[in-house]
Structure 1
Amino acid sequence: MRAKRLEKFDRHSSHSIIIDEAHHCLSESYQRVLKYFDSANVLGVTATPDRGDMRNLGSFSRAWPMNTRCRRLSRVGISARSRL
């Protein structure tokens, strides 16, 4: 997101940011947004934590990565069961 567009938002208006496909969060554009909303809590989720450029997502996250299976998530009621 461009700086001019970011400046249209109150930097304290977002308390939480959820990033799907969080393996992209190390890119310059994502980092610009995250730095702008630096007081927001961030939850990043991804099914592909290994990046092609070998950059470590641990440098983005202060939390330990969690690895789980879809079957377990549906069993405990976090996600819907999938049907093929």
Structure 2
Amino acid sequence: MDPFEELRTVAVQQNLVGDFPAWLLGDVLGIADNPERYRDTITLVETLIAQIKDYDPFAGTGCFDDSVGIEQVQATLRRIKHG
């Protein structure tokens, strides 16, 4: 599957069944829907996919928590958007 298609699928699925915030979904879909614009950031897009898969709104609350929090997702989104 194309990474941009996978990004869209993962983000929508996590929003529907998980706790991935709807207010952030638009930014993610904006990247997923513009592969030609973000093709040079493919490695970061793949990182974003992994982060969304591991997203947990309560990340960091446990001692050995490996989940990803909103701050990490937002930082990756900024890096993708601003090169």
**TM-score bucket (shorter structure):** under 0.3
TM-score for the superposition, normalised by structure 2: 0.20
More helix by share: 2
More strand by share: 1
Q: Which has the higher contact order (CA 8 A, sep 6+)?
A: 2
Q: State which structure, 1 or 2, has the greater radius of gyration over its C-alpha atoms.
A: 1
